[in-house]
């Protein structure tokens, strides 16, 4: 994430993610699933601003089409309330979120917003929380929130997804990401999952390929155990994956629990060409992105 101050206002751009691999290893007694997943941050950002406001926390949110609901269900408000002291002696803050990361897409937008809120308010309110304390709040908010706390371009994530090991990337990777009109709920996708179809992917080889910048080896190792249940829930996923392959993007995969899908490009020019073809075909939302933090 990238932060900057404008006088008394703190602005934070917080990125989306893609899952390069996602293996579901089993169901846990707490109802969650044990995962091993490799995530990259990509250069598609939501922006949060933190400005002086009336006492406590106030929150507004808008997307491209206008205002969005900004109620208690929003992770930004829940993250902010976690850092608010019971005596509310911190100065009031007005938080505004500009959404660009597609929702119900498997791109971690809500989790990224929550992580940015924790990191930014720790600074804005001088809470003095350690990285470990921020991670404890992140894990309580959702499975993907921890990944964004570290601002890591690439990480191997385990447990519910909240145990993060940062890894190195030889250089930027280019992707085309496309989202069909339908969105998918993570909880519904996990309910549809048949564990018999899942297995541990070779994360070591993929991480090595990322470290060496070997695009062919990366593309050959992209996997996602949630793709099968998501394809069963929406025929648009399979259709989109075929379109990504037809415009010569490598290793087309769905990210997270969907519904966005992505393919790997050799460089920006190839990514732009593929994106133009997809837009001409009427694909709903298409983004050319690079790995970024």
Q: Which are the catalytic amino acids? A: 17, 144
Closest by Cα among 285, 247, 281 to 264: 247
Q: Is the Cα torsion angle 254, 19, 211, 158 positive or negative in sign?
A: negative
Judge residue 34's burial from the number of C-beta atoms within 10 Å of its C-beta, 0-12 exposed, 13-18 middle, 19 or more buried.
middle
Strands 250-254 and 174-179, by their bridges, are unpaired
Q: Which residue has the tokens 């808008």?
A: 62
Which residues bind to ligand C5P, rule: CB under 6 A? 32-33, 35, 142-144, 160-161, 186-187, 190
- Cβ closest to ligand C5P, residue 37 vs residue 270: 37
CA–CA distance, 163 with 143 (Å, rounded to integer): 9
Q: Give the CA-trace dihedral at 151, 153, 159, 162, to 10 degrees.
A: 10
Q: Are 20 and 85 in contact (CB under 8 A)?
A: no
Going by the DSSP 8-state scheme, the letter that residue 102 receives in this structure is P
Distance, CA of 87 to CA of 90 (rounded, Å):
8
Beta bridge partners of 174: 265, 290
259 preceded by a cis bond (ω within 30 of 0): yes
Q: Is 173 helix (H, G, I), strand (E, B) or coil?
A: coil
20: Cβ contacts below 8 Å, ≥ 6 apart: 38, 39, 40, 206, 210, 218, 221, 222, 253
Whether the CB-CB separation of 177 and 59 falls below 8 Å is answered with no
């Amino acid at each position: 994430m990238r932060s900057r101050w404008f006088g008394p206002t703190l602005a934070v751009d917080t990125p989306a993610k893609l899952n390069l691999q996602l293996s579901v290893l089993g169901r846990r007694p707490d109802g969650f699933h044990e995962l091993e997943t490799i995530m990259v941050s990509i250069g598609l950002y939501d922006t949060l601003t933190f400005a002086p406001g009336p006492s406590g926390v106030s929150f507004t949110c808008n997307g491209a089409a206008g205002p969005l609901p900004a109620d208690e269900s929003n992770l930004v408000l829940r993250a902010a309330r976690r850092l608010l002291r019971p005596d509310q002696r911190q100065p009031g803050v007005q938080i505004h979120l500009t959404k660009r990361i597609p929702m119900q897409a498997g791109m971690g937008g809500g989790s990224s917003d929550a992580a940015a809120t924790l990191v930014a308010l720790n600074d804005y309110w001088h809470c003095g929380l350690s990285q470990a304390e921020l991670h404890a709040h992140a894990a309580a908010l959702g499975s993907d929130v921890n990944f964004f706390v570290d601002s890591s371009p690439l990480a191997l994530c385990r447990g519910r997804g909240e145990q993060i090991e940062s890894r190195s990337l030889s250089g930027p990777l280019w992707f085309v990401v496309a989202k069909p009109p339908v969105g998918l709920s993570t909880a519904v996708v996990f309910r549809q999952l048949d564990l018999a179809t899942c297995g541990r992917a070779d994360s070591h080889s993929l991480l090595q390929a990322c470290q060496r910048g070997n695009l062919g080896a990366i593309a050959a190792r992209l996997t996602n155990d949630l793709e099968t249940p998501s394809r069963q829930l929406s025929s648009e996923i399979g259709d989109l994956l075929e379109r990504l392959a037809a415009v010569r993007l490598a290793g087309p995969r769905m990210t997270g629990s969907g519904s966005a899908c992505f393919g790997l490009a050799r460089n920006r020019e190839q990514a732009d060409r593929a994106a133009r073809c997809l837009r001409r075909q009427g694909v709903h939302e298409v983004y050319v992105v690079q790995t970024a933090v």
